[in-house]
Amino acid sequence: MSTSNLHKLAKEQFVSDLGGSSTEEIIMIMMICIPIYFTTRKIQENILFNFVLHFIIPLLMVTMYNDYKLFLYIFAFAPLFFMSSKPKQKNNKNTSSGNKKKKLNYLTSYRSHMLIMTGIAILAVDFKVFPRKLGKVETWGTSLMDLGVGSFIFSNGIVSRPKPKKEIENETGTNKNKKNSKENCIFSKLILRKSNILFVLGLLRLFFVKNLEYQEHLTEYGKHWNFFITLGLLPLTYDFILVPLIETTHINRGILGFLMCAALELWLNLDSRVLKYLINAERVGILGNNREGIYSFLGYVGIYLMGQEVGSSLILPVKDNKNLKKNFLGRYKVDDLQGLIGYALLIWALNNSILQLDKFYISRRFANLPYVLWVVSHNLGFLAFYCFVDRITNIEDTDFILECINNNGLILFLVANVSTGLVNISINTLSCNTAQSIAILITYCGFIFISALVLNKYQIRI
């Protein structure tokens, strides 16, 4: 066996058969972003120091200092005592009267930090400095990276709020011939363009894995499937299958997502052949080779729908939602923080109840119902904490660094994945000591950081 094949096999074994960690530890790791956010809201804008806070502290949290979390929490708050504070903002009458659109800083920061943590983990997992308990579990269990995959889809669902029919009618006017046809064509092309980009990325990843001796983990998504293919199929499935269903039945999107996942989980529990096939079947044909990716896709659709329901009813309500009034469970008028706390507690309680009855535990591999509810409840909880920070700091300005990252999330996710591939092709990550690993990871973080600044400067977005 060639040296390259030996390296490939070693890397595959390095990320296989992992058991994960407790949900409590995952919360403690992710929660480091809250004091970081609070600190950057209070101190003067300092790009270099913000890079340390937003990138280096999370990097250290998932590598060298994973067992010293309290130290990093203290370090995240430390700048408050020796750096200049932001001047207190004056109340703006226009803002208070509703003439000026209020910025949702907590949503920007949540999405940006989620992307940063995900970006760090996808490369760090290939180094020994990254604790194995934080890598994706083989079948049953929870880990930081398992949460990151679902969180990425949930955050996309939040900001992809549905466009109300009244708004479409107002934009298109009464002329429903040429103008409508042209706009519908443009809209369709937009959907296909974004999906095509993601499919191309999926195919490129498949090419690199199969032709450049790049490590692959078959039980993650299957032989040919990968996360980019899942992302590419989501908008197409939603627009061409789910939207007609929702418009016909008027079903709540969150309830639809839950029912889909519940039906799949019930099938898994009642028919023992399903699990046997998913785990033990031979990899023959499209379905057999990619059964994990195909089966888990419906779970990710459920996460996407729940994220969209939260976004459209609570965080970014559509314009025909009774003058932008936010609601909880479709009937109770609440503000952002109340709604997020309510949803988080509701989904958390529901998941714990289901786990008492379910034969199976949380599984990212199959994106089963417990996994879907775990991802959704955790993300709602994190959003509530970010929203709480906004309330107590009462600062309107958006963090420049986080805004740059949020505005270019898809491109930066691509940059992170391409960079990860180049690093793995160029060096044997398993042979790097701690100092070398951290140096490479800091350089990688710096590249993503600079990429965000450059993309923002030239207004490049997808």
Q: pLDDT tens digits for 168-181?
A: 445 444 444 444 55
pLDDT of 78 over the 60 cut:
yes
Query: Taking residues 190-198, what's their average pLDDT?
Result: 62
Query: Taking residues 255-272, what's their average pLDDT?
Result: 97
Six token digits for residue 375: 């991802």
Q: For residues 321 and 275, which has the higher predicted lDDT (pLDDT)?
A: 275
Q: What is the average pLDDT score of the chain?
A: 86
CA distance 379 to 348: 11
Band the pLDDT of 103: cuts 50, 70, 90. confident
Q: Give, rounded to a whole angstrom, the gap between the first and last alpha carbons of the chain.
A: 43
Q: Is the dihedral of CA 65, 77, 49, 416 positive or negative?
A: positive
pLDDT of 262 over the 80 cut:
yes
How much is the pLDDT for 4?
A: 66
Six token digits for residue 401: 């660094």
pLDDT of 324 over the 70 cut:
no
How much is the pLDDT for 395?
A: 85
SS3 of residue 4 by DSSP: helix
Q: For residues 347 and 98, which has the higher predicted lDDT (pLDDT)?
A: 347
Query: Taking residues 102-118, what's their average pLDDT?
Result: 92
Short-list 390, 433, 370, 460, CA closest to 129: 433
Q: pLDDT tens digits for 196-209?
A: 677 777 777 777 77
How much is the pLDDT for 82?
A: 84
CA distance 120 to 196: 26
Query: Taking residues 400-423, what's their average pLDDT?
Result: 91
Q: For residues 100 and 270, which has the higher predicted lDDT (pLDDT)?
A: 270
Give the global pTM: 0.90
